[in-house]
Amino acid sequence: MNPMAKASVLVAAGSICLSLIIALAKILHKYWWTPLRIQHLMSSQGITGPPYKFIHGNNKENIRLRQEALRNPMPDFSHDIFPRVQPHVHSRISSYGKNHLGWIGVRPRLIITEPELAKELLKSTEGVFPKRTSRERKEKDDFAIKILGDGLVTSEGEKWAKHRKLANHAFHGESLKGMSPAVIASVETMLERWKPFQGKEIELFEQFRLLTSEVISRTAFGSSYLDGKKIFDILTKLSVITNRNFFKSRFPVISKFWKTADEIEADKLAKEIHKCVMEIVKKREEKLTNDEDNNFGTDFLGLLLNAYHDTDKNKKFSEQDLVDECKTFYFAGQETTSSSLAWTVFLLATHPDWQDKARQEVIEVFGERNPNPEGIGKLKIMTMIINETLRLYPPVTGVVRKVEAETKLGNLILPPDLVLFVSNLALHHDPDLWGDDANVFKPERFAEGIANATKRNSSAFLPFGLGPRSCVGMSFAMTEMKMTLSMILRRYDVSLSPSYSHSPFTQVNLQPQHGIQIMLHGIDM
Ligand code: HEM
């Protein structure tokens, strides 16, 4: 080799070495130095937690705790579900306190289970503690984003405000009243399906999944469950993938160039959803192309389409906005409500005294008639029962925010990129907030309203969140649940089947792991 060639080989080798050293330094900075610095910063403010482990954080320990907790069903239908559903939070409160630090891989998480801090966080003005940091929005590397896209649940800033306004319009006041016939028709279809099960066992979680899918399809999208079926199926597959990967560590460099089978599958499913949503959109567009005002309807899909076709740049929604918002509402409008309905019927089946009281109230308010929006407002006992169910079995067991730039919360100075996790479940089961009977089903706690039940500590009860990002579908969900339960109670007495196994767990939302098996006994009225 001539001296010139030798020199260029040496230069090339030198620059490769330098690049490797820089890459190694970056990895060490991100995966070792930064976590240790944050750990030190937080502990100097009294916030401690299990030590950070290189790359994995606390993932391995969290997976072990979860597997142990889910190994067996819970005895005696106990409502003390916090240790089973969030073992990684529950087990650490006694060692590290109600607010403590944990690690999902390299991401630090401040776990908040104290109501005052939760309130300050959730009530803070939009933008200070966003749902996703701007870095994350660019990277889009989260599995949950495949489910929700950049829709209302995850978006920020002006985009969020514009979309929230539209959703508020679709799911409040007069619009809600107009949805009642579609809800009643969907419940009637479900009750028709139940007829062959009189005197027999029926699994209810799947039944309520079908019902809530039908309700959101009819009310928000003006179509039948069958039109949205493929979307629901894909969303369920994505929930399973999201759940499976929650505590999985991502390895530096490799994860940038190599996708796991789950990542490839999730990308494929996200593309399929896009296609399915656009098919539903096309159907609506074709149906209304002759409409002179170019008005695509007043339901949620109609409002979205009007915005999609708006010529005003400030009001216009892009195709991706349209798809993300549709999948957000297909998912958020269905999973949570079906879970709540299933747990409510489980509690009524195991508390026949409350079941009788609720039935009596339904008969007093509606007599032989189907429920209507005016009567729904009068169902006091039913509201108490649903609230107590949402306390013990909140479908959303925790809410997440992020720190974008260094900021203060309470007395704490929080570093950028810190994840803030408020455990609703911990707050709802805390004996310091609810008394020694915190794990007992006692709807009478809510007899004088939510404010009295929580002793005016508004953040002790957070089933629908709090502050500007609280649930936009709350009234819709409460109305749907009350109508459904009223119609069931008038026709059936429910008791628990001996085959039921009490196994609450989370698959994005809180669910019964093996379903809810109920015995249906027809009532002659
Ligand atoms: C029992 C039923 C439901 C429960 C327990 C529930 C719970 C929640 C919670 C806790 C949040 C706040 C999340 C956070 O702060 O990060 C939320 C937000 C949201 N919910 Fe619900 N939800 C229910 C039903 C619904 C329904 C039926 C819809 C749609 C029709 C819906 C749509 C949404 C949306 C779009 C958001 C995001 C709002 C925003 O960020 O502005 N939810 N929900």
Is the pLDDT at 312 greater than 80, yes or no? yes
Closest atom of ligand 1 to 300 CA is 30
Closest atom of ligand 1 to 334 CA is 27
Give the tokens for residue 268: 């494929």
Segment 275-289 shows an average pLDDT of 85
Q: pLDDT band for 386, please (50, 70, 90 cuts).
A: very high
pLDDT at 41: 97
Lowest mean pLDDT, pick from 116-125, 281-290, 358-367: 281-290
Q: pLDDT band for 496, please (50, 70, 90 cuts).
A: very high
Pairing label, strands 419-423, 509-512? unpaired
> Is ligand 1 within 6 A of the CB of residue 149?
no
H or E, element range at 486: helix 474-491
> Is ligand 1 within 6 A of the CB of residue 329?
yes
Give the tokens for residue 396: 């959303």
Strand order in the sheet with 99-104: 99-104, 107-112, 419-423, 398-402
Q: pLDDT band for 139, please (50, 70, 90 cuts).
A: low
468 CA from centroid of ligand 1 (Å):
12
432 CA from centroid of ligand 1 (Å):
27
Q: Which of 166, 93, 334 is nearest to 236 (CA)?
A: 334
237 CA from centroid of ligand 1 (Å):
20
- At residue 397's C-alpha, the angle toward residues 394 and 399, to 5°, is 125
Closest atom of ligand 1 to 220 CA is 30
**Of residues 313 and 85, which shows the higher confidence score?**
85
The residue type of 375 is G
Q: Which of 495, 522, 515 is nearest to 207 (CA)?
A: 515
Closest atom of ligand 1 to 390 CA is 5
pLDDT at 141: 63
Is the pLDDT at 292 greater than 60, yes or no? no
Q: Are 350 and 388 in contact (CB under 8 A)?
A: no
Q: pLDDT band for 315, please (50, 70, 90 cuts).
A: confident
481 CA from centroid of ligand 1 (Å):
14
Segment 307-312 shows an average pLDDT of 88
pLDDT at 149: 87
pLDDT, tens digit (0-9, with 9 covering 90-100), for 455-476: 768 899 999 999 999 999 999 9
> Is ligand 1 within 6 A of the CB of residue 280?
no
Segment 179-197 shows an average pLDDT of 95
Segment 377-384 shows an average pLDDT of 97
> Is ligand 1 within 6 A of the CB of residue 215?
no
pLDDT, tens digit (0-9, with 9 covering 90-100), for 234-263: 988 998 898 888 777 776 666 667 788 888
- Helices 157-170/300-308 angle, 10° precision: 140
Residue closest via CA to ligand 1's atom 11 equals 471
> Is ligand 1 within 6 A of the CB of residue 336?
yes
Total Cβ atoms within 10 A of residue 302: 18
Mutate to test the pocket of ligand 1, among 336, 392, 484 (most ligand atoms within 8 A of CB): 336
> Is ligand 1 within 6 A of the CB of residue 395?
yes
Rg for the chain (alpha carbons), in Å? 25
pLDDT at 294: 58
> Is ligand 1 within 6 A of the CB of residue 175?
no
Segment 68-97 shows an average pLDDT of 94
> Is ligand 1 within 6 A of the CB of residue 340?
yes
Give the domains, in start order, of the chain with CATH numbers: 28-522 (1.10.630.10)
186 CA from centroid of ligand 1 (Å):
21
pLDDT at 140: 62
pLDDT at 132: 79
449 CA from centroid of ligand 1 (Å):
21
What is the DSSP code string of 342-402?
HHHHHHHHH-HHHHHHHHHHHHHHHTTSPP-HHHHTT-HHHHHHHHHHHHHS-SS-EEEEE
Lowest mean pLDDT, pick from 121-130, 240-249, 413-422: 240-249
pLDDT at 82: 97
Q: Which of 353, 377, 423 is nearest to 121 (CA)?
A: 423
> Is ligand 1 within 6 A of the CB of residue 342?
no
Residue 17 is assigned to a ligand binding site: no
How far is C-alpha 488 from the chain's CA centre? 26
Q: Which of 232, 229, 220, 228 is nearest to 302 (CA)?
A: 220
pLDDT at 255: 66
333 CA from centroid of ligand 1 (Å):
8
367 CA from centroid of ligand 1 (Å):
32
pLDDT, tens digit (0-9, with 9 covering 90-100), for 13-38: 888 998 889 988 888 888 899 999 99
Average pLDDT, the chain: 91
Is the pLDDT at 126 greater than 80, yes or no? no
pLDDT, tens digit (0-9, with 9 covering 90-100), for 69-81: 999 899 889 999 9
pLDDT at 296: 85
Residues 6+ apart with CB under 8 A from 225: 210, 213, 214, 217, 218, 232
